Structure 1
């Protein structure tokens, strides 16, 4: 009888272990592995507020205007090598009336450097040169996994050095959206060249652990523990980082640059409260703008004019520091 209990208990424990390992590998393939198709994330898509902001005609007209402008620009494909030997590529646009300033625009999860046309056009109008990298594991860049901003932070240091050394930029800003926002926040905690003047984070998450736990809850109706811990361990083995260490919260504690945090108050993909916590944790000069009616990365759509005014004011102020 005792042997049977021992064997049964052992079998149950083994089954649990095997199941957790299978789940961890599955979620790694879904969320981290480059080759897997993007899933429909909870809170993704356009909100009712954004969809109803402009008439269909106005939306089409604005889209055509930005698309036409984008098509008229000559983006150069530039390349660097990461610390771990990956070839990373970006689109670089030299301003015809360059003022010696540049912005690095960071795209979101499963995105690429062809995105963010509206804000690209606005920075160009301000006289900025524009660099739009493909994050490792995305677009034209090499890499078999998604770093969610953690390993990317080191890549962004390399991109900054590229702008300083190769393009002779005098002032550089980092501006990211969603995963790109987390990327620039994580980069802010590193030692950066003096040419970097400020950080703009639109819809960024606190940490990879918290964001993936949030998605796990809504997409799969599963508790974070122990699935996320197992997936994190597998990610550490296969990609070299853990979800726990990939933290924007910890990074902003070390940031000394001016910081502008933007977030929609209707964001369900990256909960709005994450923006408040990042802001509270930051120790540098900082500003927080919670945009009424905006879902995930919709602030520029919902309040384009105010976005531009606030952004311009932040850039001007940061350059005077």
Structure 2
């Protein structure tokens, strides 16, 4: 009997140790991917990517740099971490402003195609943050849009001050940036957070929650169910970084948002599956619009449908920003 108890305890300890190791591995795999250094931190590579992928936007960026019209801005978040953003004033003075939020392991440069849409095509001031852990901002891990929402709220205040103090503003994000945008939207309730200048939101291919996204990737990449590994990793995330995968829920945030939101999602998206946009859209109180982009995979709706995308965004934001 004693031997049986002893062996059972050893087995339990071994399984617990294995789960702990696997949980830490998953946490690092998800929140500290190699691409944070090789892609997000590599500014020259990001500039070259834009020149090759969006030649017109690449020429525009080069012209902004030559004219010293592409500016850097640094602030600190509430924990004292330095955060970086790029900004470009409109060619003609305006109070129309867009804060544009990049995705997972991207950076502000890799969102300049949306900056081009707003600044060059629509005549807006633009500000593009590097999220925590990305680009030229401090931090070592991805926050999946959750704690990022508080940083982006700070950036909207900075943008409002930077561009005259009486802006009318849209927050527009893609992928994890869209999740961040939706998380921001739940905090902006009729000026409670002193952001009455935010008039509307555009989210492009955002996920319902970090939990749902990681659950799908755990199954797709490793063939594993959520239990027990995802539960362990989420608990470790809460211990290490102060938030859990379940807590990081754009779905819960949009339920609280009464400002207008445009939802965009490709119908061929498998990375953030298309099905996710439907509960998000249904949960969001009106006013809202939904555009399912035929044939578009993840985060390529603008690239493959530039004119239609520009028209949709122009018409939507133009309804609420005058």
Partner of 2:168: 171
Partner of 1:42: none
Partner of 2:115: 120
CA drift at 1:174: 0.5
RMSD: 1.7
| TM-score between both structures, scaled by the size of structure 1 | 0.89
Structure 2 distance, partners of 1:99, 1:208, is 37
Instruction: Specify which of 161, 181, 187 is matched with residue 178 of structure 2.
Output: 181
- Asked if 1:289 is matched to 2:291, the reply is yes
Partner of 2:127: 131
Instruction: Specify which of 216, 224, 227 is matched with residue 225 of structure 1.
Output: 227
Q: Mean alpha-carbon deviation: is it higher for 152-161 or for 7-16?
A: 7-16
Trace 1:238-257 onto structure 2 (pairs within 5 A): 238-257=240-259
| Contact 1:105–1:131 (Cα < 8 Å) also in 2 | yes
Aligned residues: 298
Structure with larger RCO (C-alpha < 8 A, sep 6+): 1
- Name the CA shift for 1:119/1:221 in 2 (closer, same or farther; >3 Å): same
Trace 1:1-321 onto structure 2 (pairs within 5 A): 2-33=1-32, 36-38=33-35, 63-73=54-64, 74-124=69-119, 125-168=121-164, 169-191=166-188, 192=193, 193-319=195-321
| Contact 2:111–2:128 (Cα < 8 Å) also in 1 | no
Structure 2 distance, partners of 1:92, 1:81, is 16
Unaligned runs of 5+ in 2: 37-49
| Contact 2:169–2:321 (Cα < 8 Å) also in 1 | no
SS of equivalent to 1:296: coil
Unaligned runs of 5+ in 1: 40-58
CA drift at 1:62: 7.7
SS of equivalent to 1:115: helix
State the Cα deviation string for residues 108-137 of structure 1 (Å, max 9, x = none): 101111112322212112110111100001
- Name the CA shift for 1:71/1:38 in 2 (closer, same or farther; >3 Å): same
- Name the CA shift for 1:92/1:86 in 2 (closer, same or farther; >3 Å): same
CA drift at 1:302: 2.2
- Structure 1 stretches of 4+ moved >6 Å: 59-62
SS of equivalent to 2:85: strand
SS of equivalent to 1:150: coil
SS of equivalent to 1:109: coil
State the Cα deviation string for residues 234-291 of structure 1 (Å, max 9, x = none): 1111111111111000000111110000000000100001011100111131111111
